[in-house]
Chain A
């Protein structure tokens, strides 16, 4: 935690919303990314991540600096995601116009990073849809554990603490989740270094 961040936290604790907004600027992308991977929908991800910030603002006085601010924030995020359920669905339908505008900006961003051919674009979209569908079939808790381990790089102990279960449960759950994903995505046996680009893994899909 930087000196600047601790100052911002103190100001936020005294009710300064501007300070919390500055704090949010430093952490919002990671929280948003986690939310986006969890729900695979930009509108929901924005709702979820903003809810995390609102909860953080309400509970900022309870932050004592024992853990890093991001760890504390991530704990709030995990609880928010698990409580989320289906509340956002109807809100998303009502805000279809806003979502369209949002997706335009996002698609533009994605296209700007790596120039791809239309064929690659289509293949990628199919892959994203398939991964999204496979993840959506997982229970929320299992999905979240997988994301926390794979993308956030949390230890088993940290995940167990955040999700309120034992380390053994986390390990078993992660193994089951991976096995389920493998089945859903139709990943078959492959030769050496399957995770490398251009691997010789055989799948039942286009990719």
Chain B
């Protein structure tokens, strides 16, 4: 069998400690160590180290020392016990609780008793929900609170017009509804134009022209940037030559 120094040295400590503990040297282990001068030298040196450790061991105290040691330990333990008494069992705790008398002034005790009686009477007199009310009551799963719209103050917008003409503007509060209406309007226009077999480019052009015509012909637009839609919108039409001018 080939000698492997690395493998042998990994087991050296075990061999050294086993031998120092009084066990017999394992024959096969020693034979393996003796096969290599380096391993044998290290084994012997480690055993010598342990021997030196034993010879350099500190003295242990005399018997008289232990009397004082025990006394000091007793004092420490007593101090520890006084600091944190061991937890009592529930039975003991209940006995100590019931056996304890707490001085309470008579008026305070009477007031507390009265308060307790009043609370219990009020609780008993509160109408209990009947079977019918329970049936009609909305179930907690279906009854959902309605969304509360934020209270917005009405705003007044003044839009001057050049000519006396009835201006109808529909202002939608909800953006989604406005967008839906716009799409619907576009669909109507597209359908009308499709009926006249007009190409898409022409449709776009017609739409833009239609919007431009609206702007120029009927009224001057007021810049409504930053305008917040409200629930109520009042539009005052200012006629030329009216008293307001």
Partners in one complex: yes
Q: What is the interface of chain A, defined by CB distance below 8 A to chain B?
A: 14-15, 17-18, 20-21, 24-25, 28-29, 32-33, 36-37, 40, 42, 46, 50, 53-54, 57-58, 102, 105-110, 112-113, 124, 127-128, 130-132, 149-150, 153, 156, 171, 174-175, 178-179, 181-182, 185, 187-192, 194-196, 199, 201, 203, 207
Q: Is B10 an interface residue (CB 8 A)?
A: yes
Q: Is B46 an interface residue (CB 8 A)?
A: yes
Q: Which residues from chain B contact A113 at a C-beta distance below 8 Å?
A: 59
Secondary structure dominating the interface of A:
helix
Q: Which residues from chain B contact A46 at a C-beta distance below 8 Å?
A: 69, 72
Q: Are the C-beta atoms of A195 and B78 separated by less than 8 Å?
A: no
Q: Are the C-beta atoms of A190 and B46 separated by less than 8 Å?
A: no
Q: Is B14 an interface residue (CB 8 A)?
A: yes
Known contacts A21-B77, A50-B73, A203-B52; A189/B61 CB under 8 A: no
Q: Which residues from chain A contact B115 at a C-beta distance below 8 Å?
A: none
**A96 and B166 alpha carbons, distance in the complex (Å):** 109
A-B contact pairs, 10 of them (CB 8 A): A17-B77, A21-B70, A33-B60, A50-B76, A105-B65, A190-B44, A190-B48, A192-B44, A194-B44, A203-B48
Provide the B78-122 mask, 1 if CB < 8 A to any CB of A, else 0: 101100011000000000000000000000000000000000000
Q: How far is the CB of B30 from chain A (nearest CB, A)?
A: 11
Q: Which residues from chain A contact B76 at a C-beta distance below 8 Å?
A: 50, 53-54
Q: Is B64 an interface residue (CB 8 A)?
A: yes
Q: Is B47 an interface residue (CB 8 A)?
A: yes
Q: Are the C-beta atoms of B17 and A102 separated by less than 8 Å?
A: no
Q: Is B143 an interface residue (CB 8 A)?
A: no
Known contacts A29-B66, A187-B45, A189-B44; A207/B61 CB under 8 A: no
**A170 and B14 alpha carbons, distance in the complex (Å):** 11
Q: Are the C-beta atoms of B45 and A130 separated by less than 8 Å?
A: no
Q: Which residues from chain B contact A112 at a C-beta distance below 8 Å?
A: 62
Known contacts A57-B80, A207-B55; A24/B10 CB under 8 A: no
Closest chain B residue to A175, Cβ basis? B13
